[in-house]
Every structure is written in C-alpha cells, then in structure tokens.
Structure 1
Amino acid sequence: MSFAHDTEIALGEAAALVNTLSDDGDSLETRAGLDAFLARHPFSGQVTGDEEELRTVRRLRERLRAFWSVDDRDGAAALVNALLADCATSPYLSKHDAFDWHLHVTRPEAPLAMRIGAEAAMGFLDLVRADALGRLRTCAADDCSDVLVDLSRNHSKRYCDTGNCGNRANVAAYRARKRTLA
C-alpha cells in the first residue's frame, strides 16, 4: 500500500525528529540544532527562534517516540487522538511554494511544536487506519536504536537513514562470507 505524499513526508519528519536524540547524542541541545533540523525539514508558518520553542519541540520528540513502542492499533489510536487534541487541530487545504493543494491541520501561526505534532499525528492516523503499524521499526543494526518508517513496497527496509547502518551490516556480512570461504 502506498500512502499520500504528505503522509509519507509527515512520517519521515517524525522519525527524523525522534532520531535527533540518538546513541550519538542530542542534536537538539541548542537552538542551532533546531535550526539545522528545520533547514532539512522545513515547516510552513512562523518560527519564533526562542528557547521555549526549542523546549516544546524536544518534549514533542519524546511523545513521538512512543509511536514506535506501541503494540496495537488501539494504543496507537489513543496516542493519535491525544496528540491531535493537544495540537488544537483545525484542518484546511493549502497551496504554497512548489506544493499543490494539500492538507494542513494547524494554522501557520500555531506554535512550531503544535504544527509538527499535528502533521505527525495525521501520518500516524493513516498507519492506524491502514493497519500498517508494522511499518514503524527500530534500526536492525546492533549498535543503533534510531527509528525508521518502512515505506518500501515489499516492507523490507531494516536500517535507519541516519547513519551507515545498512552499509556496515552489508560489509560485515560480506567479510563473514569471505572468512568462511577462505
């Protein structure tokens, strides 16, 4: 099953936000870290640039990580509903920049964390409706705890996008095969 473009973007951004706190540290420790995240994952609407905005985005990150731990659709639906309620959603269609008509679920003047949370909640909502929570995974590398969203056709994605986990695993497997042949 394929998802709408905005759903895929929202899920990817949610995973990227969760992965800002990884085994390598916290890339959202400073305002500069949030600015770097927003440069890679731009959100329409205002950005205040203050410390409170940074704190609320960091709190949201913890809430989003919970989606990768939920075991069933009922639990995920409860998380989605709570996030939608807390983000004061107000859906409307928007057309801006290079994007054709698409759904926004918060106003552009809403706080950044609310806009990110609402968009993520809508992405998770589609996973619940499609009974596709299995697409939320943790990286298969032994030394990585980053999360990923498997949007591949055959549901085969195993490694995160944050490092070289897949490459390292493939090299290790290759070397192991070479050792057994030698």
Structure 2
Amino acid sequence: MAFARDTLPPPWQKGGAVPFSHDMVFSLATVVDLINTSPETGGPDDLADLEALNAFVRRRQVSGVAALTPHDLSAVRELRGSFHAVFTASGRDEAVSRLNTLLGRTRITPNLTGHDGFPLHVHYFAPGASLAEHLAADCGVALAHVLVEGEWERLRTCAAPDCDNVFVDESRNRSRVYCDSRTCGNRIHVAAYRARRKA
C-alpha cells in the first residue's frame, strides 16, 4: 500500500509523542473508506462491481495489486463486513475478539519497503497477497494498534440519525460525533437552528 505522506499526525498526542505512525493513520483512513462503501452504513453499495473496486484501489493508492477478479470483489466485500463488525462492537473485549478472528485468518509478513517515491515504511501483507489479504493485514494491524493503545472508543459511528458511516475520532478530547462536520454535522446544526427558530 502506498502511503500518503502529507497526512498530519492525529491530534490525540500523548506527552508530545504521536502513538501512530503516518502509515497507521493512512491505513485507518483506508479501512474507514472501505467500510463506508457498504450499504450497511446507510448509502448505496459503492463496491457493487469490479470498476468500483478498481476505483477504490486507485483512490486509496493500494500498490502491488494484480488485475482484480470477481473473487477479489467477493473477498473484499466479505472483509468489509468483518471490519465493520469491529467498529460496531459493543465493547473493547468484543472488538478485540472480532479483530483477533480477522487477524487469525490473515497471513502477516512485516516487510520494510520504499516505493513509488514514498519513504521507508512497513507493509504487513505477505508476498503475493490478494487485495483482501493486503487490506486485512495492513488495516488489521492499524486497528490492532488502536486497541493496544486503549483507544478503541475512537472507533465511532456517525451520530447523525440518517447516517451510519464509521470514522476514527481524532479529536484530542474524544468529542467528535459526526463522520464529517461539513456534511452531517452542518446538516444537524442547521436543522436544530431551524427548529429553535420555529419554537
């Protein structure tokens, strides 16, 4: 997976140290993007066909992926559901159990690499991995770091009543409640303002 190097470190820094690397932050953004393609989050299925899956691969800059097949589409859609189950777990222990199940089915082979003009970083997927294995390894390890850091409550579902998108709350005080403040957040605030005006 090629990682975006302009990603800012998350603002929940502890004692001046950033708990997650840029690679982990990018992988977390990738798993959120993957989950939010699902109709389970309230929208259409944005991975309905191979064209959509290829668009996802380009958007998330996933490197080293061979030509995708219907099997890849099926496997990635199944993985998407497994990741969604981690985000919607009722508590930390359930999230750990679900993630352990996912990681237990995943070949993980850490490998330092630099490619496509990106600095040295770590890939966790095994050589020759399929797209689903690639995403399961890199995104699964990123989620594991969130849980190890005691930050599982940052795995959230949007509080807007008509949106079930997931997100990682990067606010310092864990106060973020909407997947996107410019869309869901703004829409809810406008509705509340209009309701107050009518009262």
1:154 CA drift (Å):
2.5
Name the structure 1 match of 2:33. 16
1:143 CA drift (Å):
0.6
Residue 55 (structure 2) pairs with residue 29 (structure 1): no
163 and 25 in structure 1: CA distance in 2 versus 1, 3 angstrom threshold: farther
Residue 92 (structure 2) pairs with residue 73 (structure 1): yes
TM-score, with length taken from structure 2: 0.82
How many matched pairs? Answer: 180
TM-score, with length taken from structure 1: 0.89
Name the structure 2 match of 1:132. 151
1:87 CA drift (Å):
1.7
1:151 CA drift (Å):
1.4
Amino acid at match of 2:154: R
Q: Determine if contact 1:84/1:121 at 8 Å carries over to the other structure.
A: yes
Name the structure 2 match of 1:169. 188
RMSD: 1.9
Q: Percent identity?
A: 38
Deviation per residue, 1:21-61 (Å, 9 max, x gap): 13221011111111121121121112322111111000100
Amino acid at match of 2:21: A
Q: Determine if contact 1:90/1:105 at 8 Å carries over to the other structure.
A: yes
Q: Determine if contact 1:46/1:108 at 8 Å carries over to the other structure.
A: no
Distance 1:33 1:163 in 2: 25
Amino acid at match of 1:96: H
Tell me, which stretches of 5 or more residues in structure 1 are unaligned? Answer: none
Tell me, which stretches of 5 or more residues in structure 2 are unaligned? Answer: 1-11, 14-19
Distance 2:121 2:21 in 1: 10
Higher relative contact order (CA 8 A, sep 6+): 1
Amino acid at match of 1:21: S
Distance 2:97 2:126 in 1: 23
